[in-house]
Amino acid sequence: MPLHWDQLPSWQRDNQYILSGYRTASNSFRKSFASLAYVHNKSINIYSHLIPAILLPFFSIKLHTSLTARYTSNHSLHIARIANQMDYISIVFLIVGSFIPSIFYGFYCHPILQILYITMISSLGLLCAAISAIPQFRHPTWRPFRARMFIALGLSALFPIIHGVMKFGIRQMNKQISLFWVVLQGSLYIVGACIYAIQVPECIYPGIFDIWITSHQIFHFMVVLAIISHLYGLINAFDYNHSFMAKHC
């Protein structure tokens, strides 16, 4: 039987506005995995990453890591902590990994700038990953800080983007890195993270959105849409930079 918020152990409590639909602590990977077969308040979070992870193998590391964190969140305190930490670090991996192709094509003929900006985002990513390893970071009270940190990491993309626009112009950057799709990707991440941080809509109507349309679910769908945007833009950037139309070095 699904549990109510008041019946949960403290380590399973993450969002006080979601009142029902919780799974019993399983202490078993098999039993946690078996919860895929019935509806609970993590079902959408699981399937919103499971299906894209199958369809989009390029991003499967992040999606499978997040998926693992979702379906094992009722296993035990120890496993939930490890899975959560993996989930947050995978977000850093996804952000940093999505930067590198854009930097590579944005400064295709400028290896020093490539190294500079790839080193910058990698260093910031390592810092965020180190912060993610702090035990307190996983506490629900740190939710706004988590969202702000990941948004700040993503916004650091403005430095190479602005530099590229000033150096090559918007039109050329749109060809080299599919600038429109990069901006759309970033916007989806930011909007999703903000919704996750403020816990809308469940904070307005506690108990109504326990199973469907929670802030976390919306965030997941935003992430998947951002990944699709990134992949589509990257294909366009690849086609341009490896075509006869590109200005080769």
pLDDT of 230 higher than 90? yes
Domain spans in the chain, listed from the N-terminal domain onward: 39-241
Tell me the C-alpha distance between 3 and 21, whole Å. Answer: 6
**Which residue reads 């990257």 in tokens?**
234
* Structural contact between residues 41 and 209, judged by C-beta atoms closer than 8 angstroms: no
Phi, psi of 22 (to 5 degrees): -85, 150
17 close to 200: Cβ distance less than 8 angstroms: no
Three-state DSSP state, 3: strand
Residue keyed to tokens 């109507």: 205
Secondary structure of residue 203 in the 3-state scheme: coil
Q: What is the largest distance, in Å, between two alpha-carbon atoms of the chain?
A: 64
pLDDT > 60? residue 58: no
CA angle 1, 198, 94 (to 5 degrees): 85
- Give the confidence band of 56 by pLDDT, cuts at 50, 70, 90: low
pTM: 0.86
What is the pLDDT, as a whole number, of residue 85? 87
Q: Is 119 exposed, middle or buried (0-12, 13-18, 19+ CB in 10 A)?
A: exposed
Which pLDDT value is given to residue 84? 85
pLDDT band at 74 (very low <50, low <70, confident <90, very high): confident
Tell me which of 60-69, 80-89, 148-157, 171-180 is least confident: 60-69
Task: Indicate the pLDDT class of residue 61, thresholds 50, 70 and 90.
Answer: low
Tens of pLDDT, residue by residue over 142-157, are 888 999 999 999 999 9
Q: Which pLDDT does position 68 carry in this prediction?
A: 73
Q: What confidence category does residue 57 fall into, taking pLDDT thresholds of 50, 70 and 90?
A: low
At residue 136, the pLDDT reads 85
The answer on pLDDT for 211 being more than 60 is: yes
Predicted confidence band at 202 (pLDDT cuts at 50, 70, 90)? Answer: very high
pLDDT at 67: 65
d(CA 3, CA 7): 6
Across 174-187, average pLDDT: 96
168 pLDDT exceeds 90? yes
Cβ distance 218 to 192 under 8 Å? yes
Contacts of 235 (CB under 8 A, 6+ apart): none
Residue 26 dihedral angles phi and psi, to the nearest 5°: -95, -30
Q: pLDDT averaged over the chain? A: 90
Supply the DSSP string of 153-170, one letter for each residue.
HHHTTHHHHHHHHHHH-H
Residue 220 marked as a ligand binder: yes
